[in-house]
C-alpha cells in the first residue's frame, strides 16, 4: 500500500514538471533563449547551454521584466523571474558555460617564438579551463615559450615569457649583416615594439630608415 502511494506521488510530481516544461515550450517567448541571453550579457562567457529547464507551474505569456540568478552558474542554476503582472517564478536548470581558449596547433620546443598559424582557438567547458589560459591569440603571437609543449595544449601564462616593450625613440645599436661584411652603427627606433618583433629604425649615420629585428632592448639586427 505504501509503495502504491509513493508511486502515485512520483507520478503527480512528474506530471507537474512535464506540465511546466510543456507550458514553457508553447509560450510566445522562449524562456531558454531569454535566460541564455541574460547569462551571456552578465557573465564573461562566449557560449551558454541551458538544459533541463523546469518551471513549477504555469508560466506567464509575457517575458520577465527582471531576472535574478540565485544560485550558480555553471552547474545547477536557480533563476528568479519577475513578470509585469506581479507574478514571481523560480526556475531551475543545468547550465554549461563555454569560453574560447588558445591551443597549440603542433608541438613546440622551449624558446620557440609563436607565430600566426601556430595556434588556434577552441571552445571549452569553462569549468575545465586551466587557470591562466589565454583567451586571445593576439596575446601570444611573437612571444617565447618558457617550456616545451605538445600539440593541442592550452597555452597558459606560465608557459609564455614576458618580453620587455622597447619604446619609440630608444637609442639602439644597428647590427648589419651582409654576405661579405658585418658592422654596427648607432640607431634610433621609429616605433615601439616587443623584443623579438620587427621594427623600423633610423641609421643615425646615414639618416636612412631600416627594418630589423629587436634582438634585445638595445640591439636591432638588420639583414641585407
Calculate the alpha carbon distances from 56 to 22, 29, 67, 80, 110 in Å.
11, 17, 16, 12, 56
Q: What is the pLDDT of residues 76-105, one digit of tens each?
A: 999 999 999 999 999 999 999 999 999 999
For the whole prediction, is pTM greater than 0.85? no
Does any domain span residue 3? no
Task: Give residue 22's domain range.
Answer: 10-96
Neighbour count for residue 98 (Cβ, 10 Å): 19
pLDDT in tens, 128-153: 999 999 999 999 987 888 899 999 99
Q: Does some domain include residue 127? A: yes
Does residue 5 fall inside a structural domain? Answer: no
Q: Are residues 27 and 73 in the same domain?
A: yes
In this structure, the answer to whether residues 58 and 116 fall within a common structural domain is no
* Cβ-based burial of 162 (10 A; exposed 0-12, middle 13-18, buried ≥19): exposed
Alpha-carbon distance of 178 to 216, in angstroms, equals 20
Cell (9 digits) for 12: 503527480
Amino acid at each position: 500500500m505504501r509503495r502504491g502511494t509513493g508511486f502515485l506521488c512520483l507520478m503527480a510530481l512528474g506530471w507537474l514538471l512535464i506540465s511546466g516544461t510543456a507550458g514553457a515550450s508553447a509560450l510566445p517567448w522562449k524562456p531558454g533563449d531569454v535566460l541564455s541571453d541574460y547569462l551571456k550579457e552578465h557573465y564573461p562567457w562566449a557560449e551558454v547551454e541551458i538544459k533541463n529547464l523546469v518551471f513549477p507551474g504555469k508560466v506567464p505569456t509575457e517575458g520577465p521584466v527582471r531576472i535574478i540568478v540565485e544560485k550558480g552558474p555553471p552547474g545547477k542554476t536557480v533563476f528568479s523571474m519577475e513578470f509585469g503582472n506581479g507574478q514571481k517564478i523560480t526556475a531551475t536548470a543545468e547550465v554549461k558555460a563555454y569560453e574560447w581558449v588558445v591551443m597549440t596547433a603542433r608541438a613546440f620546443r622551449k624558446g620557440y617564438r609563436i607565430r600566426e598559424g601556430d595556434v588556434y582557438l577552441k571552445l571549452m567547458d569553462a569549468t575545465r579551463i586551466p587557470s591562466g589560459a589565454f583567451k586571445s591569440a593576439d596575446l601570444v603571437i611573437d612571444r617565447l615559450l618558457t617550456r616545451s609543449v605538445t600539440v593541442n595544449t592550452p597555452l597558459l601564462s606560465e608557459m609564455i615569457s614576458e618580453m620587455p616593450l622597447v619604446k619609440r625613440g630608444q637609442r639602439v645599436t644597428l647590427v648589419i649583416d651582409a654576405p661579405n661584411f658585418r658592422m654596427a652603427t648607432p640607431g634610433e627606433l621609429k616605433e615601439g615594439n616587443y623584443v623579438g618583433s620587427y621594427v623600423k629604425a633610423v641609421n643615425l649615420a646615414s639618416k636612412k630608415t631600416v627594418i630589423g629585428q629587436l634582438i634585445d632592448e638595445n640591439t636591432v639586427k638588420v639583414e641585407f
